[in-house]
Structure 1
Amino acid sequence: MNILITGGAGFIGSNLALKLISRGHVVTVLDNLSKQIHGSDPQNTSPLYLSIAEKVRFIGASVTDNDALIKAIKDQDVIVHLAAETGTGQSMYQIKRYTDVNIGGTALLLDILANNDHKVKKIVIASSRSIYGEGKYWSDELGYVYPEHRDDIYMQAGDFEVKYQGCEKPLKLVATDEDSKIHPSSVYGITKQNQEQMIMTVCPTIGITPVAFRYQNVYGPGQSLSNPYTGILSIFSTLIKNNKAINVFEDGKETRDFVFIDDVVDATILGIEKDEAQNNVFNVGTGVPTEVNTVVEELMANYNKIVPVTVSGNYRLGDIRHNFADLTKIKTVLGFTPKVDFKQGIKEFAGWVNTQEIKADKYQQSIDEMKQKGLFK
């Protein structure tokens, strides 16, 4: 098939492009090679871009560029829409930028498809676990509940666990399934919810099959080590490599579902190639929550290097406490099971980092920006 990947020079997109090519597909990539991800001279120095440069038809443009999108869509059978701004914290103060790219770019894509001749049969949209907000919990008093954003007053006092009105007993974290409440706690999450809903709503009305994947925290060899706004594995790795102390937010017991890049690519290809995926929304993760404290320990063990670690009680407004995926649906419908657990994946990731040039640490700059906006406490 002819497959267009918007944002296809990014971490997920470039890995997906290479796997699709190996399976006989013809890939076009539309990407603006953002400096935040690819550095200041991406066409010469970005490993992600260089990995696909001679293997795909490349269009260097933003997903908000009407003419470039029209050119990219021509003769495509499938579109994988990955292009998006992705920093949860950054989204809370660069609201227009995130809205223009994530929502505006998706609206433009659909507008072109709705009003022009094309051959597109399927769109796969990269959604996110961020649309679930605080996820799903069990209450002994009320059954399943979906807590709202955590209250700043409690977090200032060092109480970081989620609360739910009418529940006196502690809530029990459970896996978030696709039917869980959608209530994002960040602007990024809101834009991903909007992207998904537009694709799933508009596509069937214009004869295109939609598929949405709600990715958990994607990681692995090749991810950007220079972007200070996303990916605690990259951020912590850069700090460790620069012999700098790590500030663990909250109490370090917050958890994420870390899913290895190869598994994400495999799941996405199932969505592209399998008819069973059509008109469906799927979680993509491991189904296992991993504490941030564990992340720090595993990274230092794999780098064989110890740096000072402070569990500070600092926190960012817009961050969630916990979320991990229920994979029942994707296993049942698409036959997907993740192959790489966190211990194996972190070993592969750290091994790759050890081969890379040590990047300058820009993390404090991102924290200072959030402090200035009152979003970091």
Structure 2
Amino acid sequence: ELLLEGTTSVRRVVLGSSTAVYGEGKYRCGKDGDVYPQPRRVDALERGIWDPPCPICGGAITPMVTDESVVRPTSAYGLSKLAQEDLVRLLGERHGIEWIILRYGAVQGRAQPFQNAYFGALRIFALRLAHSQTPQLLEDGNQLRDFIDVDDVARANVAALAGGRAHTVMDLARILLRVAERDIVPETPGRYRVGDPRHAVPDVSRMKAAGWEAQIGLEAMAREYWQWLTAQPNLDTYFEGADHLMERTGTVRVAR
């Protein structure tokens, strides 16, 4: 209403969305070509079967870089972001207001609040390490994610925002351990979060064509966050309460 009244100088609306709208994303099957698998079944996750099958033949499939053409969110968060995108498009086109949608990848980096220990792999791993506890990884740690530093995010002004570099969650944990000079092995006790995609690596070719490219590597990102986190006062074990709540509500479960 404020925009339509013309009482502000706003000429463009920018929405911070998420690559969570892609859901499981794009895969390739040797028999059926490019496919988009359904959300992973809970009964499969309970048995520790982490990789989704081909939705056509049921065979093994290989994760691919996911472009922005297909959106199939598998979580409440992804659904909420897609609804926001639809609302921005609808109202923007109806009222002639310019809009841009930024789909953020797995953003990490300094000043990421450690009080929220529900999401953010680097934050959760670093917080456990700061309390001399071993990082615990969901599933087997081989999930692919496009980790991107918050400084790179701040520089980007394009519609598909990520870093274009695939790393496993295990890669991130091992790099953080090296940065923190801890000689321990990350744990994978078979826990999983319902609704998480197995792999999430978006296509950033349009962004690179516009002149943007991520500049901060995974080790520099981890080092900067570790230095920031360990300098903070009142560093409590927030992850314990988050773990208990997610287990109690069935958000995080353990494979049998």
TM-score normalised by length of structure 2? 0.92
1:65-107 C-alpha deviation (Å, 9 max, x unpaired): xxxxxxxxxxxxxxxxxxxxxxxxxxxxxxxxxxxxxxxxxxx
Higher relative contact order (CA 8 A, sep 6+): 2
**Amino acid across the alignment from 1:249:** L
- Secondary structure, in 3 states, of the residue corresponding to 2:192? coil
1:127 Cα deviation after fit = 0.8
CA contact (8 A) 1:241 1:358 kept: no
Structure 1 partner of 2:61: 171
1:374 Cα deviation after fit = 2.3
CA contact (8 A) 1:131 1:189 kept: yes
Aligned: 1:124 with 2:14 = yes
Aligned: 1:322 with 2:199 = yes
**Alpha-carbon separation, structure 1, partners of 2:81 and 2:173:** 28
Question: Where in structure 2 are the equivalents of 1:12-161 lying within 5 Å?
Answer: 111-114=1-4, 117-161=7-51
CA contact (8 A) 2:22 2:72 kept: yes
**Alpha-carbon separation, structure 2, partners of 1:117 and 1:225:** 38
More helix by share: 1
**Alpha-carbon separation, structure 2, partners of 1:350 and 1:167:** 45
1:197-249 C-alpha deviation (Å, 9 max, x unpaired): 21122113212110011000111111112211221111110100101133221
**Amino acid across the alignment from 2:45:** M
Aligned: 1:360 with 2:249 = no
**Alpha-carbon separation, structure 2, partners of 1:119 and 1:237:** 42
**Amino acid across the alignment from 1:376:** V
Structure 2 partner of 1:228: 117
**Alpha-carbon separation, structure 2, partners of 1:310 and 1:294:** 13
Structure 2 partner of 1:191: 80
**Amino acid across the alignment from 1:212:** I
CA contact (8 A) 1:253 1:291 kept: yes
CA contact (8 A) 2:36 2:55 kept: no
**Alpha-carbon separation, structure 2, partners of 1:348 and 1:365:** 26
CA contact (8 A) 1:283 1:327 kept: yes
Structure 1 partner of 2:219: 343
371 and 149 in structure 1: CA distance in 2 versus 1, 3 angstrom threshold:
same
1:121-167 C-alpha deviation (Å, 9 max, x unpaired): 10111010101011111112222111111011111111100122223
In structure 1, list runs of 5 or more residues that go unmatched.
1-110, 272-281
CA contact (8 A) 1:139 1:171 kept: yes
**Identity of matched residues, %:** 27
**Alpha-carbon separation, structure 2, partners of 1:166 and 1:159:** 18
CA RMSD of aligned residues (A): 1.8
CA contact (8 A) 1:239 1:245 kept: yes
**Amino acid across the alignment from 2:66:** T
CA contact (8 A) 2:137 2:187 kept: yes
- Secondary structure, in 3 states, of the residue corresponding to 1:246? coil
Aligned: 1:285 with 2:170 = no
**Alpha-carbon separation, structure 2, partners of 1:252 and 1:301:** 17
CA contact (8 A) 1:246 1:307 kept: no
**Amino acid across the alignment from 2:182:** K
- Secondary structure, in 3 states, of the residue corresponding to 2:67? coil
Structure 2 partner of 1:6: none
In structure 2, list runs of 5 or more residues that go unmatched.
none
Structure 2 partner of 1:374: 250
**Alpha-carbon separation, structure 2, partners of 1:308 and 1:335:** 39
